Amino acid sequence: MANKKKAAPSAKRSRPPAKKAKRAGPPRKGAPARRAAPPKRAGGKSAPKAAKPVAPAAPPAPAAPPQPDEARPTAMLIARAALDKKAEDVTVLDVRGLTSYADYFVVATADSERQAGAIADAVEQTMKAQGVSKVGVEGYEGGRWILVDYGDVVAHVMNRESRGFYDLEGLWADAPRFTVS
């Protein structure tokens, strides 16, 4: 008997199944209709395609005139009302283009919860005297962070700890800002 070595099993790789040839004949029910080939000219060449007309380029639209900024005076009025009640670090953030729900944030710091409530009350009274109605108020009971919403302008009255923790200026770092004093 001859010594025959067994062949090591080769690692066969599986191949993807071969693609089926396209079926000739009429299309199946529900299948989209095939587009007819363009007519042939003498000599077996296809007819040339018609060139699409090119519309002349329109002149660039003139830049839109700057829209009057109606929210900025409201933001300044809120900032002044906060300063009248001894708010500190009053900053106005211009968030136009960064958020869809407001144009300006007015951020003010209060030394105590009682002062935060007094600042929020002064803002509300000032705006009411100007005929501007508030959309809503949040956090008045707690006094650590009081938010007064006037639609385009949102006032944030915060104690020092909350202002440092939430860091609205850092969160909206891309927003232009100015300090009101």
Domain tally for the chain? 1
Q: Tell me, what DSSP letter sits at residue 47?
A: P
3-state class of 70 per DSSP? coil
Q: pLDDT over 90 for what percent of the chain? A: 53
Residue 92, both tokens: 């106005």
Residue 128 lies in a domain: yes
4 belongs to a structural domain? no
Query: How would you classify residue 85: left for phi > 0, otherwise alpha for psi between -120 and 50, otherwise beta?
Result: alpha
CA distances (Å), 106 to each of 34, 52, 94, 146, 176, in order? 64, 56, 9, 12, 12
Confidence band (pLDDT; 50, 70, 90) for 143?
Answer: confident
- Distance between CA atoms of residues 122 and 126, nearest Å: 6
Q: Do 133 and 125 meet the contact criterion of CB atoms below 8 Å apart? A: no
Q: Is the pLDDT of residue 4 over 60?
A: no
Do the beta carbons of residue 169 and residue 108 sit within 8 Å?
Answer: no
pLDDT digits (tens, 9 = 90+) for 100-117: 999 999 999 999 999 999
- What domain range is 97 assigned to? 71-179
Question: What local confidence, expressed as pLDDT, does residue 30 receive?
Answer: 60
CATH code at 104?
Answer: 3.30.460.10
Residue 83 lies in a domain: yes
Q: How far apart are CA 144 and CA 158, in angstroms?
A: 6
- How many angstroms separate the CA atoms of 73 and 85, rounded? 19
Between 37 and 159, the higher pLDDT residue: 159
The pLDDT of 136-145, averaged and rounded, is: 91
- pLDDT value at residue 180: 85
When pLDDT is averaged across residues 119-125 and rounded to a whole number, the result is 96
- Please report the pLDDT score of residue 108 as a whole number: 96
Look at residue 120 and tell me whether its pLDDT is greater than 80: yes
Least confident of 43-47, 61-65, 124-128: 61-65
Confidence of residue 65 (pLDDT cuts 50, 70, 90): very low
Answer whether residue 168 is part of any domain.
Answer: yes
Beta strands 104-110 and 153-159 are: parallel
Instruction: Tell whether 84 is covered by a domain.
Output: yes
Q: Considering the domain boundaries, does residue 38 fall inside one?
A: no
